[in-house]
């Protein structure tokens, strides 16, 4: 198709600013805010709840706001959208989808201190909703459409704000991913495929369908109580049910506000209700509603076979980065061989895209390289060298095992564009996040010893447990394995703090007394048990005995002895 003709057709709808280079260059620098997310399974309340009033959490919240203020999201795809000529006060037809939501919310919002705290936080950051709204474009209409199709409360459209600030690439230390922050096992439970090629938790359409199914299940499971269902989405239906039963046994009220739940969950529901209150009463609070056109801007098309994302971008006359941002579920350069083969593309070009794609043979939608097995080759080495997996090579070449022989010909799928063009593949995103986290920092290797916890290690190196979990791709809730090497990236400030501490640290020898334990000794000198284990090489020794000499490094400014 002639490029000028294409722009002429799309100009009044989404292509007002040319090829979008401005957009994704800005977006590139600030895409990954997952470390700032409040995740649904984090147990580190003191760090994950940015809404609390502690100095540290206020600092984290401010950083999140600074980051998000520079992000454009995909809002350019709906700039200058042609809005239907309709009356704003017509309940069935709103120009602005935020206004439709504000007037259609069902949840009652009580007047209590927990909601007031969250509301004050949002009002303190007046640009928050505007910036999140940029990310929500053009996904919000799609989500609202699915909510209405399932006859569920429109209030649920705010869950991605609380879960991920509408970042489809959001990823937590607990391995929750996507707009709706599904854990791997929960995603599988609700039909979200996860493999080398594709992660359905990041598929905006599929994950929304799964999240709504999950919410409907929770609502029915917890006796048709939406606040209980919301709490369960954050902390699990078993925990909420047990809290309800506990109150019943004690003859206490069983509404959400009376339940004993984790601190994060106690803040989780008020966050959503505070947003409901602000949007519903935006004029009262002096908040200007952002604008998102209340009409379809994306279509979910079935390509029918595996498709190179660069080729899809060419047919849609988008950049590769843009096709990836609209379809964040694909980990690599193509859709999955086994499906799903569905893509989100701008609705305005849906017909053209389908026509062009249908004219192309399925065998030509992916480029193939013919590779002849050489001496010393193995299937795993070949897969690694060609950025694929043994499973994919077995499937394509009809191999029953990993056995291959010299001279054997293999078909290998290869991308049609340069690796750098696929800037939102899993590998590229992880690499950028790692490089971003390393800037201006010094690398330290820490070996886990008996008694170590993420909390102890974070205190030692003046970093956070969440940062350690992210740097090492581990869960913040699992027990650390003895001998495991952890990578710590210390800032100059943190390293300086450590050095300053060393100036006031003295080495003493302590003789174990009857009745002593490592924990008691650690408390006595205001050190950690893991430090005692490390200093005295006790990793393989279960007990200490009276008369045993222990080396202790005491900070004289902190010691209580």
Residues marked as catalytic: 163
Nearest-angstrom CA–CA distance, 117 and 146: 31
Query: Where does residue 316 fall: left (phi above 0), alpha (psi -120 to 50 degrees), or beta otherwise?
Result: alpha
Residues 6+ apart with CB under 8 A from 104: 154
Q: What share of the chain is helix, strand, coil (3-state, %, to 5)?
A: 50, 10, 40
State the residue for tokens 């509404």: 255
Listed residue (95, 176, 170, 123) closest to 476, CA to CA: 176
Listed residue (203, 158, 185) closest to 41, CA to CA: 185
Nearest-angstrom CA–CA distance, 379 and 374: 11
Count the neighbouring beta carbons within 10 Å of the beta carbon of residue 171. 26
Structure tokens that stand for 15 in this block:
């292509």
Q: Under a CB-based contact definition with an 8 Å cutoff, are residues 141 and 297 in contact?
A: yes
CA triplet 205, 329, 323: central angle to 5 degrees? 90
Listed residue (289, 357, 285, 251) closest to 115, CA to CA: 285
| Per-position b or e across 22-60, b if 16+ CB within 10 A of its CB | ebbeebeebbbbbbbbbbbbbbbeebbbbbbeeeebeeb
Q: Under a CB-based contact definition with an 8 Å cutoff, are residues 7 and 15 in contact?
A: yes
CA triplet 104, 78, 327: central angle to 5 degrees? 90
HSE-up of 88 (CA within 13 Å, CB side)?
Answer: 7
Nearest-angstrom CA–CA distance, 225 and 307: 43
Neighbouring-strand partners of residue 409? 372
Nearest-angstrom CA–CA distance, 397 and 319: 31
Listed residue (267, 268, 335) closest to 300, CA to CA: 335
Neighbouring-strand partners of residue 511? 549
Residues 6+ apart with CB under 8 A from 170: 33, 34, 37, 163, 164, 176, 177, 178, 179, 181
């Amino acid at each position: 198709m002639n490029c000028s003709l294409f722009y002429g057709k799309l100009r009044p709808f989404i292509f007002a600013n040319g090829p979008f280079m401005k957009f994704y260059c800005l977006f590139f620098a600030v895409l990954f805010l997952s470390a700032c997310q409040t995740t649904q399974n984090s147990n580190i309340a003191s760090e994950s709840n940015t809404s609390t009033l502690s100095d540290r959490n206020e600092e984290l919240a401010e950083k999140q706001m600074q980051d998000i203020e520079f992000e454009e999201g995909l809002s350019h795809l709906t700039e200058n959208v042609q809005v239907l000529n309709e009356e704003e006060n017509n309940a069935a037809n709103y120009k602005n989808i935020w206004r439709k939501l504000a007037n259609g919310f069902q949840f009652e919002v009580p007047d209590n201190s927990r909601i007031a705290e969250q509301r004050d936080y949002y009002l303190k950051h007046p640009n928050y909703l505007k910036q999140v709204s940029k990310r929500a474009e053009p996904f919000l209409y799609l989500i609202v459409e699915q909510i209405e199709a399932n006859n569920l409360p429109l209030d649920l459209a705010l869950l991605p704000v609380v879960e991920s600030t509408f970042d489809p690439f959001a990823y937590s230390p607990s391995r929750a991913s996507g707009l709706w922050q599904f854990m791997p096992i929960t995603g599988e439970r609700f039909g979200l495929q996860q493999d080398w090629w594709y992660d359905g938790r990041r598929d905006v359409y599929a994950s929304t369908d799964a999240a709504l199914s999950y919410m409907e299940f929770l609502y029915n499971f917890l006796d048709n109580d939406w606040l209980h269902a919301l709490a369960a989405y954050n902390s699990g239906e078993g925990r909420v049910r047990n809290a309800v039963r506990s109150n019943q046994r004690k003859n206490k009220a069983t509404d959400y506000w009376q339940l004993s739940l984790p601190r994060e969950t106690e803040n989780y529901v008020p966050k959503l209700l505070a947003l409901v209150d602000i949007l519903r009463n935006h004029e009262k609070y002096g908040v200007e509603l952002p604008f998102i056109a209340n009409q379809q801007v994306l279509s979910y098309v079935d390509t029918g076979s595996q498709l190179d994302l660069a080729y899809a971008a060419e047919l849609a006359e988008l950049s590769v980065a843009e096709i990836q941002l609209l379809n964040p579920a694909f980990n690599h350069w193509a859709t999955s061989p086994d499906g799903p083969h569905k893509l989100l593309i701008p609705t305005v070009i849906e017909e053209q895209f389908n026509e062009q794609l249908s004219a192309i043979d399925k065998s030509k939608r992916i480029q193939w390289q013919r590779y002849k097995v050489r001496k010393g080759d193995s299937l795993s080495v070949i897969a690694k060298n060609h950025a694929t997996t043994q499973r994919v090579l077995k499937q394509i070449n009809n191999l029953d095992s990993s056995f291959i022989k010299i001279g054997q010909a293999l078909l290998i799928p290869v991308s049609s564009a340069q690796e750098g063009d696929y800037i939102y593949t899993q590998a590229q995103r992880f690499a950028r996040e790692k490089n971003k986290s390393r800037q201006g920092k010094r690398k330290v290797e820490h070996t886990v010893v008996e008694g170590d916890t993420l909390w102890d290690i974070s205190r030692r190196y003046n970093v956070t447990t969440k940062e350690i979990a992210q740097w090492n791709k581990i869960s913040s809730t699992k027990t650390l394995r003895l001998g495991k090497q952890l990578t710590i990236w210390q800032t100059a400030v943190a390293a300086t703090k450590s050095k300053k501490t060393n100036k006031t640290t003295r080495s003493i020898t302590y003789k174990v007394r009857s009745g002593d334990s490592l924990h008691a000794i650690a408390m006595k000198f205001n050190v950690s048990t893991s430090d005692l284990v490390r200093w005295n090489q006790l990793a393989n020794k279960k007990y200490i005995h009276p008369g045993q000499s222990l080396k202790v490094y005491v900070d004289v400014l902190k010691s209580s002895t």
